Chain A
């Protein structure tokens, strides 16, 4: 066991405090708008905190550290793209300004406004599928992190996963977005302190000169130049630009923060300032991975071309190298603060994702189907109840998937591909709906289905390279929208909206 008594006390105090504050959020929830978009009363600073906390989790630290361990400094290009694209979206208001003006609660809701109810349901199904598969590996990876750093026996991984899930489920189900925003604020502060602390410790222990030398020795120029790195290259970089434009505008958990802000102007500022956080969100954990490579990357070269991390005579996978390094370099007390910070990161992401994907199931699949069946509108209380049931369903699926699914490659790329399942089509449809008059329902269906097929078939069945798969999905979705719209005639909903 790596944890001292003081570490356990810090972690327990954080968990109790976070749960209590989260449950208090329930008193502010009066209707479904409060539950899903915090009554659209989110200000700039709380908005930055909740958006950043939603997209910074232990899973983020783990996959970026693994990416840094495997690709060296060249991986920083992916982090730079994520932050810079976010700043561009914030400054220009691309999509998000219009989304906020429309007072939406979910991204697929836009598809009913611009296209048709049927396309909203299809999009809802794809968004839920991609989103839940994406979240499906969170618990396992987070559980791995916590067991390695704290020294809990790996046999207790399932118990650790269950406890994390139950805690975040309790306050998300009770207080919805209000509870999530409150806890996100606390969690953001804690995870930021942990991020900065770990970065200082990692660089101090590995030494900046040693870090540079190790990458140069193991990877040569490819460890620095993203264009010649075999894991990246031009195709990867272009795909990342497309993907991050799509994520920052159409990713449900990000979009929910935009929908929750007080005004379109505040939504743009939230996006711009969070973009600066995103630069560090990627580069700092990548640096931890490179530091782990420097300190422990002395084992035999694996099938992926990276040396195994040797810790206490054991050969570890690149994914496990960073948490193993933290267990070695952090002292008592600091380890507790860092783990509490990582737990904060975990809970903020998972609670937001639970709320995001369950809102899609209830608002974009079940409620439209209910209306199509000729039933009257569901009361606000009924909608909140439906959301809570969907929350529990998503939690159970995530637990199941995390236990039984074996990752075929790097975590970062798995997450990118599962996101692409719906993002390729959704991004193309939203761009088309907002900026191209001829975009219509036929084109919308073709874009969503071809984009999803372009991600699922090559990755899960043909086992193609992730870069080509991601690129193909966006290309197919664009072709689907263009040719489908040209072949499909005029769309009444789109014509009215224009």
Chain B
């Protein structure tokens, strides 16, 4: 029982480490590249709006 508990402890320690690092990594990438996505979206929305008004 104690051995199984120890294995679970190692498993969850590794899991939370991987989860935390993945969270941080995706956050950095999205922060750096998301601004360009938004600018493109604004430009296309304005185009769509202009076409609609014409």
Contacts and interface: CB of A to CB of B under 8 A. Distances in A.
> Do A and B associate with each other?
yes
Interface of A: 28-31, 34, 38-39, 41-49, 52, 73, 76, 79-80, 83, 178, 181-182, 185, 188-189, 192, 195-196, 199, 208, 212, 216, 220-221, 224-225, 273-274, 276-277, 279-284, 287
Contacts of A221: 1-2, 4-5, 8
Contacts of A43: 36-37, 40-41
Interface in B1-54: 1-2, 4-5, 8-9, 12-13, 15-16, 18-20, 22-27, 29-31, 33-38, 40-42, 44-46, 48-49, 52-53
Contact of B19 (A178, A273, A279): A279
Contacts of A283: 15-16, 19-20
A34 B18 contact: no
Interface of B: 1-2, 4-5, 8-9, 12-13, 15-16, 18-20, 22-27, 29-31, 33-38, 40-42, 44-46, 48-49, 52-53
Contact of A182 (B31, B33, B38): B38
Nearest to A274: B26
Contact of B48 (A34, A79, A273): A34
A34 B45 contact: yes
Nearest to A189: B31
Nearest to B52: A30
A80 B30 CA distance: 22
A83 B19 CA distance: 9
B45 A76 contact: no
Given A28-B42, A39-B48, A221-B1, A79 B19 contact: yes
A212 B8 CA distance: 11
B22 to A, nearest CB: 4
B37 A44 contact: yes
Contact of B34 (A29, A46, A80, A212): A46
Given A273-B26, A280-B20, A284-B23, A46 B5 contact: no
Given A212-B9, A279-B19, 15 more contacts: A28-B42, A29-B45, A30-B45, A30-B53, A34-B45, A38-B45, A39-B41, A43-B40, A46-B41, A73-B12, A178-B45, A188-B27, A221-B2, A277-B27, A283-B19
A73 B8 contact: yes
Chain B binding site: helix, strand, loop or mixed by DSSP? helix
A225 B38 contact: no
Contacts of B34: 45-46, 48-49, 185, 188
A430 B40 CA distance: 33
A210 B53 CA distance: 64
A282 B45 CA distance: 34
A311 B2 CA distance: 32
B25 to A, nearest CB: 8
B12 to A, nearest CB: 4
Name, among A49, A79, A178, A199, the residue most crowded by chain B CB atoms within 10 Å (CB to CB): A49
A286 B2 CA distance: 23
A113 B22 CA distance: 38
A28 B45 contact: yes
A484 B14 CA distance: 46
Nearest to B34: A45
A225 B35 CA distance: 42
B12 A277 contact: no
B20 to A, nearest CB: 6
Contacts of B23: 192, 195-196, 276-277, 279-281, 284
Contacts of A178: 45
Contacts of B31: 189, 192
A388 B30 CA distance: 30
